[in-house]
Amino acid sequence: MRKPNAGEVLARYAGFEGGIEEFAVTADAILAEIGVDDETATSVRVIRDYAQRGIVSRPERQGRESVYEYRQLIEFIAARVLVRDGWPLAKIAEHFARLTLEDLSALVPGSRPATSALNVVRSLMSETEGRKALLKSRRQAPVRSMPPQSNLAEPEPGLLFGAMSAQLSRSKAELPSLLAMLGADPAGPEARDVTILSIAPWLHVAIDRARLSRITQEDAETIARTIAASLMKTAPRGGK
């Protein structure tokens, strides 16, 4: 059975409406289903903190209860994705209010409704090319002529942020398939903490840092003999 993509998962909650406790449970369910690892469960405190920062828009009040809706849910999910990717909360809060619901959804890895976010990228590229053409025409224009005034507006920081974030999310979403094309493990590249020993300008040995702390004199001698034997086996002969 095909696993639903993030866009399909989010679409199931399009009519979401509930209190803060239900909001927390639903957010955790979505994060788990779309494969966004989170170290801790969503808490009421975190949701209120995001609302205080302006990342999650203020919920509607019905009597004494706060009622959260779909946009706030998407805001929270997109923010958790960006936090995982290394974006600081202050930067997220600075630009979230300027993004449309479609842009926010496009930040979630694997989601498909990215038309608006793609338009942002195309718009920025178009403006860049337009500025290049304008600068070229100014350089070629006679000194006595007044340079034409540009009608190109600076891209809004929120749009630039959305384009950068959407690109990062798309890159992460396509990583497994790209690794599979290379014959690597789709689970992701393995990161290792190593120490590089520069024995000579042309000789470097990489050793796992955790293993290095446990190396004995006998291990060191075995490593040296192994390196020597490997060099003799692979070194070219006859000056080739």
Residue extents of the structural domains in the chain: 1-143+153-189, 194-234
Q: How far apart are CA 45 and CA 22, in angstroms?
A: 14
Beta-sheet strands, E only, within the chain: 17-18, 60-62, 65-69, 194-200, 203-208
* Residue 34 and residue 108 in contact, taking contact as beta carbons nearer than 8 Å: yes
* Higher-confidence position of 177 and 96: 96
Structure letter (DSSP) for residue 17: E
Q: Is 60 exceeded by the pLDDT of residue 17?
A: yes
| Alpha carbons 85 and 81: distance in angstroms, whole number | 6
pLDDT above 70 covers a percentage of the chain that reads: 67
Q: How confident is the model at residue 149 (pLDDT cuts 50, 70, 90)?
A: very low
What is the percentage of the chain residues whose pLDDT exceeds 90?
Answer: 13
Least confident of 118-127, 136-145, 152-161: 118-127
Residue 65's identity, in one-letter code, is E
Can you tell me whether residue 204 is helix, strand or coil?
Answer: strand
HSE of 213, CA atoms in CB hemisphere, 13 A: 4
8-state DSSP, 16: -
